[in-house]
A and B are shown apart, each in its own frame.
Chain A
Amino acid sequence: MAKREAPEINAGSMADIAFLLLIFFLVTTTMDKDLAYLRKIPKKVEQPENQPPVQKKNIYTIVINSKQAIKARDSVIRADEIESLNGRIKHFYLVNRDKKTDRAKNYPYYAFGTIQLYSKNLTQSENKLEALKAQEEKTDKIRKTIDQTYVMIEKWEEKLSMARLYKEYSGKREVPEIAFEAHIRLESFIDTDYSAYVAVQSEIQRAVTELRDKEAEELFGITYTAMNKYYQQNINEDSAKLRDYRKKMDLIELLFPLRLIEVKPKR
């Protein structure tokens, strides 16, 4: 028997089906991306009492009142010049950078860590841990000190690897670290508008990002923003490039930390 040929399927309505799908997707989806400033809420820790207060020079206070008037340190900032906050915050970070003498009195000082210093501290902590472990009677206090020493060792190891990375790329022996207390303090009122608050957040973010991008470009030849974008998109992969970027970003974040304290409004 002769083989019958399969009848051809009429594809004339294919276009209609495709159009239908296309229109469905056009209606149910949006083009605009969701953008936001990501912030952390600090964890509650029990503050040990009688801690010395943070020195004034280490705080950059920005206040927004209920009429959206902005004050940064002692100067009033008019609404049309909010963008000057960018320069002011950069100045706060940079004015004492690489300066060991003749520093601006009212701004945070820098500390200069070296590989030698960090290795010395690391060895000291390790020796301390050995000594503590060797003790036969372990009271609660000793256990607590042991835990603390572990934390210290971890911290010094991290700093040591940072200093090595910095030396490798910049050739400089000393890592300029801004005072650990230096921070931006953002105060608002209960009635402050969200838009004004976000505008100030925007300027803070811009200042820090520009500082980080410039530094990263000089050290690694790639901006912090680009590294962060790649990192966020591929965070679940376990590749060498991702780990490399994480380390480099950690170094940049150490050089220019974004320490922002958002104070709960009282009025």
Chain B
Amino acid sequence: MSKFRKKESKGAPGINTSSLPDIVFMLLFFFMVATTTKEVDPLVEVSPAQGVGLEDLTPFKQRSEVDFLYLGEPRKGDKSKFDKGIAVQYDGIIHKDGINHIVKWKKDKFDSKPAEFTAPKEEVVTCFKADEHVPMGIIFEARELLGDNNFNSIGYYAREKGNRRGYEIRQQ
């Protein structure tokens, strides 16, 4: 009689999965903390310009002190309907008035927040998420409209270029 009796082989032993929820919850919390929610689905094509030394807008977003507008070619439909083929998207919609709608949009946004919770008008950033081939004329039109209505902070959206040398600029 041997002391170590061979176990009857019963196939592979089952894996204990009781800690699986813990692992998945850990992953869940990581993603909840490390990511931010998407604001809107873009209706216009935006491939961002590149730069270095950009400022992170996350703290501004957390305080809701930044509004984004998108400029670029429309993803659907005829682009010739728009001035210079550039459509302007405010939140969820492409507005037919193009850039001239910006003042009404900003005013509505500003007035919808209670005064004690928001930064003064001059400091609420308007960030242009513009495609790299958007002509500057349209952005300066927006700048002028905003300046006339005392929305004095703007942001030029771009992507971090990293250490690569040179900028990708369309040569003509």
Q: Which residues of A contact B (CB under 8 A)?
A: 11, 14-15, 17-19, 21-22, 25-26, 28-31, 33-44, 67-68, 79-80, 82-83, 188-199, 201-202, 205-206, 209, 229, 232-233, 235-236, 262, 264-265
Contact = CB atoms under 8 A, between A and B. Distances in A.
A15 B21 contact: yes
Interface string B50-72: 11111111111101001010000
A205 B49 contact: no
Contacts of B25: 18
Contacts of A235: 59, 63
B165 A36 contact: no
Contacts of B132: 193-195, 198
A262 B147 CA distance: 13
Q: Please list the 9 inter-chain residue pairs (A to B) with the smallest Cβ-Cβ separation, ordered nearest first.
A: A202-B51, A190-B137, A36-B155, A29-B35, A195-B132, A35-B54, A18-B24, A198-B49, A14-B21
Interface in B117-172: 122, 125, 127, 130-137, 139-140, 143-144, 146-148, 150-161, 165-172
12 contacts: A15-B21, A18-B24, A25-B28, A40-B154, A82-B169, A193-B135, A193-B169, A194-B133, A199-B167, A202-B51, A209-B53, A265-B137
A209 B160 CA distance: 15
Given A68-B170, A83-B166, A264-B140, A194 B53 contact: no
A196 B156 contact: no
B161 to A, nearest CB: 7
Band of interface residues on B: 35 or more
Contact of B59 (A197, A198, A232): A232
A194 B139 contact: yes
A41 B146 contact: yes
B31 A22 contact: yes
Contacts, number: 204
B18 interface: yes
Given A202-B51, A205-B51, A41 B167 contact: no
B32 A25 contact: yes
B2 interface: no
B163 to A, nearest CB: 12
Contacts of B60: 232
Contact of A36 (B54, B59, B148, B166): B54
Contacts of A41: 143, 146-147, 151-154
Given A192-B136, A194-B136, A38 B28 contact: no
A49 B25 CA distance: 67
A37 B31 contact: no
B17 interface: yes
Contacts of B56: 33-35, 229, 232
Given A25-B31, A25-B32, A196-B169, A30 B38 contact: yes
Given A79-B171, A190-B135, 16 more contacts: A15-B24, A31-B34, A36-B57, A37-B155, A43-B147, A79-B169, A80-B166, A192-B135, A193-B132, A193-B135, A194-B131, A194-B132, A202-B167, A206-B52, A229-B56, A264-B143
